[in-house]
Amino acid sequence: MPVPWEALLPFGLVTVMFGAAGTLFNVSTRAQNLGKPGRYGVDKWEDMMMRRDERLTGHRRGQTSDPTPPPGYEISSVWETERVA
Ligand SMILES: *[C@@H]1O[C@H](CO)[C@@H](O)[C@H](O)[C@H]1NC(C)=O
């Protein structure tokens, strides 16, 4: 059975390009999430917790075990009493 050698070059190109795109996407997503994988399907509660983490640490994916909140924490919250346009 003849081997289609001429097809191996484009096959290699497609394989390398998919790998490069996936790796770059992975690196970009992790760079935006403090080295953690990105979050998907975030519900309202998780979004609220991530906003609290942002107020506590300065980043939505940040975490802290320090029980004393940073200065200004008690006034940095937004009460959502009405929909903001
Ligand atoms: C992204 O990179 C991390 C660390 O380098 C690795 O553990 C993870 O499996 C990668 N994710 C994908 C989808 O390749």
Residue 81, in any domain of the structure: no
Predicted local confidence at residue 35, as pLDDT:
95
Residue 14, in any domain of the structure: yes
What's the CA-to-centroid distance between 26 and ligand 1, angstroms? 6
Quote the pTM value. Answer: 0.74
What's the CA-to-centroid distance between 37 and ligand 1, angstroms? 8
Give residue for tokens 């081997």. Answer: 3
Predicted local confidence at residue 61, as pLDDT:
95
What's the CA-to-centroid distance between 3 and ligand 1, angstroms? 34
DSSP class per residue in 40-82: -S--HHHHHHHHHHHHHHSSTT-----SSPPTTGGGS----SS
Residue 2, in any domain of the structure: no
Quick one: 33 exposed, middle or buried, by C-beta within 10 A (0-12, 13-18, 19+)? middle
What's the CA-to-centroid distance between 19 and ligand 1, angstroms? 12
51 lies in which domain range? 10-64
Residue 39, in any domain of the structure: yes
Mean pLDDT by 10 residues, the chain (85 residues): 92 98 97 95 94 93 93 81 69
Residue 43, in any domain of the structure: yes
Residue 5, in any domain of the structure: no
Residue 4, in any domain of the structure: no
Query: Could you give the CA distance from residue 39 to residue 12 in angstroms, rounded to a whole number?
Result: 32
Domain count for the chain: 1
Predicted local confidence at residue 28, as pLDDT:
97
Residue 85, in any domain of the structure: no
What's the CA-to-centroid distance between 36 and ligand 1, angstroms? 10
